[in-house]
Amino acid sequence: MLDALARTLTAHQLETLVAKLNANNRRALAHEWEVVVLFGLKDFGRVIHEAHLGGPSKADIFLQLEDDPNVQFAADITCISDRGLEDANPIGELMELIREKAQKLGIRSGFDHRVRHKISKAKVRLRMPEKKQLHQFFQTRIVPHLIAIARTPAMRWSLDLRDDLHDIQIFYHPGKRYSTANYPAFRHATVIDSNPLYNRLEDKRKQLRDSGYDGPTGIIVCDGGCETLTRKAASWDSFSKAQIVDKFLKSNPSVSFVLLLWIDDPLSQPGAERVREARSELYLNPKAEKAVSPRLHHILRQITRRWPSPIQNGENARHELEGIGYKKAQPFWGHSFGGGHTMGTGPNILTFRMSARNLVEILAGQMTHADFAAAHGFAPTGQSPGVNPLALALARGLTVSSVTLERVPYKDDDWIEFRLTGPDPAIAPFRTPKAPSANSAPA
C-alpha cells in the first residue's frame, strides 16, 4: 500500500509515516489505519494528507474530485480502543498471567475465574487491582498458591481473595481442559456521552474546527479494540454505536458525517481458515451546516471495497503491539502458518507441506527441533508417545526428490512442500532386484 501511495504523499510524508509505522508501539496501529484509508481514497480524486486549510490545525485528509473541484471534504482519522477500561479492569491480563505461570510450573488443567464488581459513576468497575498494581498482586497473592498446586496437581483447589478492595475467586479443577471466567461486562457504553467513541468524536470535532476549513467535514473512526465499535447486537444495559453517533451529530452541526471502520472477525469451523472482512457504517448529519453530496456519499461507502482481505482484527493487532501478561510486544511478527502442515504417505513416498517461515527459523536457529516437533504434533504427550513421520521416512531410506514453494498472496507466510521418495541406495540397504517379467522386452 505504501508503494501505491508514493504519488499521493510527499517524500517527507512517506518518510514520516514509515517511521511512525516502525515505532513498535500501539500508536503504529493508528497510522496503519491512516495508510489503508488513504489507499481507499487515492483513486477518487486529489488527496492531500495533513492538509493546511487555513487554520492552526491540519486535517488528516482533504479530498477534491478532479472532474468537479467543488465536490470536496476534509476529515480527521482516529483509532479508538478500550485500553483505558482494560487497564482499570485487567481481567484478561490476570488470566494470561495465571495461564503462563501455571504452564511453566507444569500445571495442565484449567482454572475458573470469578470477579464481582461495583458501580462507579454509572460505570462497571471490577473489584480487582488496576493494571499498574496487578503484577505485584499476582506475585504475592496468587503465585504461592500456583506453586502449591504444582506439588499436588491431582487435588482440587480454590483461592478466595475478598476484602475491602477485591472480590476475586479462582478455582482449580484437575482434568479440566479449558479455563473460564465469570465477570460483568465492563466495556459496554453505559453512559451515552462518556465512552471511548463519544469522547474521541468530541476531540476530533475540536481539531476539525481549528483546521479553518468551511466545507463538509467528517470524522473517520477506526477500530483498535473497542467493543462498542465491533459489537453486532445491542444490549439492554448499554448504548449502541448508532445511538452514540446520533447523539454526537445532533449536538454538532459543524460535522457533516461520521464513518466507522472495523474488521469483522466471524467464528469459523474448527480447522477452517477464518475469513475476516472489513466493515463500515456511514452516518450523515441531517443537521449539518455543510451537507455531504451524493457523490461523496458514494465514495465514502467504497473505501473498504478497495482493500485486500484483512488478516487481523483491531484488538489482536493492538495486543501484539502492547503485549499482555508475560508476553512481550511482537512488532514485525506477522502471522505465519507455523505449526500448520499437511502430509501424504505411500509405500515409497512422503510429502510434507509446512510454513516457509518456520523453515527459515529452524535454519536460523530461532526454532529448536523440540519446538518444531511440539508445534506440529510430533512431540510426546500424555496421550501419545510422539511420532515424527519425517524421521520414519528417513529410516526407510527416503530422501528429498523435489521442493515446491507455494506463494500465498496477501498473507504473511508461504507454504513449502517437500517430496521424499526412495529408498535411496545411498542411505538404505541394498535390495535384490526384481526379476524381469516374461513379457518384458530384453534390454
| 229 vs 200: CA distance, rounded Å | 12
The amino acid sitting at 394 is: L
C-alpha to C-alpha distance for 280 and 267, rounded to whole angstroms: 19
- Rounded Cα distance between 103 and 146, Å, is 10
- Please name the residue that has the C-alpha cell 474448527: 270
pLDDT at 321: 84
pLDDT at position 330 = 64
Strands 415-421 and 217-223, bridge-based pairing:
unpaired
* Strand blocks (E) in 314-377: 342-346, 349-355
Extract the C-alpha cell encoding 85.
477500561
- pTM equals 0.82
CA distances from 167 to 57, 130, 160, 220, 411 (A): 47, 13, 8, 39, 44
What local confidence, expressed as pLDDT, does residue 442 receive? 58
Question: What residues are paired with 420 via a beta bridge?
Answer: 350, 400
Q: What is the pLDDT of residue 326?
A: 56
Can you give the pLDDT at residue 346?
Answer: 85
| pLDDT beneath 70, residues of the chain | 267-273, 324-333, 381-384, 438-443
Contact 310, 276 (CB under 8 A): yes
Helix (H), strand (E) counts: the chain = 14, 16
What local confidence, expressed as pLDDT, does residue 329 receive?
62
The pLDDT value given to residue 338: 85
- How many Cβ atoms from other residues are within 10 Å of residue 15's Cβ? 11
Q: Which residues, other chains included, contact 191 with Cβ-Cβ below 8 Å and sequence gap of 6+? A: 121, 122, 123, 239
Instruction: Confirm if 245 and 283 have CB atoms less than 8 A apart.
Output: yes
